[in-house]
Structure 1
Amino acid sequence: MHKRLVFLSLMALMFVACSSDANVFGEYKPIKNGWDKNEKVSFEFQPKDTLNAYNLFINLRNDDSYKFSNLYLIVNLDFPGGKTVSDTLEYEMAKPSGEWLGKGFSSLKESKLYYKENVVFPTMGTYNIAIEHAMRKNGTVEGITSLKGITDVGISIEKSAEK
């Protein structure tokens, strides 16, 4: 009984020590049977204040069926009141050797990609981040209709260390 109590206490302490209060928001959405070129993955959130700075991340999970070493995304950040900031982003997903850059022990890899640093949300209300892929094969104008290998798309918002 005493060993069990010590073990449970140590586990609880490890859980508390490993959890971070820097993470303010985080969510994943699954991609089923390929990411359609017209499919926007959207996330709504409401910041808790208008004073602190935050870092925004795009989180992706991919498996070995992803056939590219990079990823192009179009990301729209909609503010309350109608303002939209649109970005076209490129991320490296693999080393030149083909080894995935994401973390994970199996064929599923998770990548945490910087989107924006030290963002202050100036007004209270609902914000929306919409993410779509902009992948195309070299030499073609048309986008890839269904992007295979991306299994989940997410965002996370963390308090910035800087003010």
Structure 2
Amino acid sequence: MLRIINRNNLVISCMIALFFITSCDKKRVFDEYLPISNQKWNKNNALQFTFPVEDTIHEHNLFINIRNNKEYPYSNLFIITQMDFPDGTVIADTLEYDMADVTGKFLGKGFSDIKENKLFYKENILFPAKGMYTFKIRQSMRKNGKVEGVENLEGVTDVGFRIEKE
């Protein structure tokens, strides 16, 4: 009898936990991660996220999510993004984000060697049309005084793209 009660409690606890996990993310519209093979992000490897847009009335926030480990050798990150719209319009941006503070401690959340950074990409935007959009991102790091880019950026484990309702 005691064993049955413990199993029932476990099942109920799991259901409650699942409810809270799923209900706490009501803002999420799209959220996807792509792994970086061998944790070396090649400068020619543009990661691509394709997503449908149905809501052209409400504002959204767009985020770039970066997971890095202790092998990441820089305090910042330069990336080039491209957003392809259903009508053929293309918007490209070159962006820089801080990855560590002035003491060299990595920013982001996480208790292990992996830190997750949720970086603002676009804030309070309205999608102009319904349809399929494509977001592309590639690293564009350079060493000081060098023209050519870093061929393989080490220490990035995953790259994600997230859209939230405002």
Partner residue, 1:74: 80
Residue 27 (structure 2) pairs with residue 22 (structure 1) = yes
Write the deviation string for residues 81-132 of structure 1: whole angstroms up to 9, x where unpaired. Answer: 1111111111100111111111112111111111111111121111000001
Q: C-alpha distance in 2, partners of 1:15/1:69?
A: 36
Matches of 1:136 and 1:67, distance apart in 2: 12
Question: Partner of 1:139 in structure 2?
Answer: 145
Alignment pair present for 1:65 and 2:71: yes
Q: Where does the alignment leave 5 or more consecutive residues of structure 1 unmatched?
A: none
**Other-structure match for 1:44:** 50
Q: Percent identity?
A: 47
Structure 1 vs Structure 2 CA RMSD: 1.3
* Residue 151 of structure 1: aligned partner: 157
Aligned position for 2:91:
85
Q: Which has the larger helix fraction?
A: 2
Moved more, 46-55 or 133-142: 46-55
Q: TM-score, normalised by structure 1?
A: 0.92
Q: Which amino acid is the alignment partner of residue 25 of structure 1? A: F
- Pick from 4, 19, 37: which aligns with 2:7? 4
2-side partners of 1:109 and 1:61: how far apart? 5
* Runs of 4+ residues over 3 Å off in structure 1: none
Name the amino acid aligned to 1:134: S
Q: Compare 95-104 and 68-77 and name the one that shifted more.
A: 95-104
Question: 1:11 is aligned with what amino acid?
Answer: C
Instruction: Extract unaligned runs of 5+ from structure 2.
Output: none
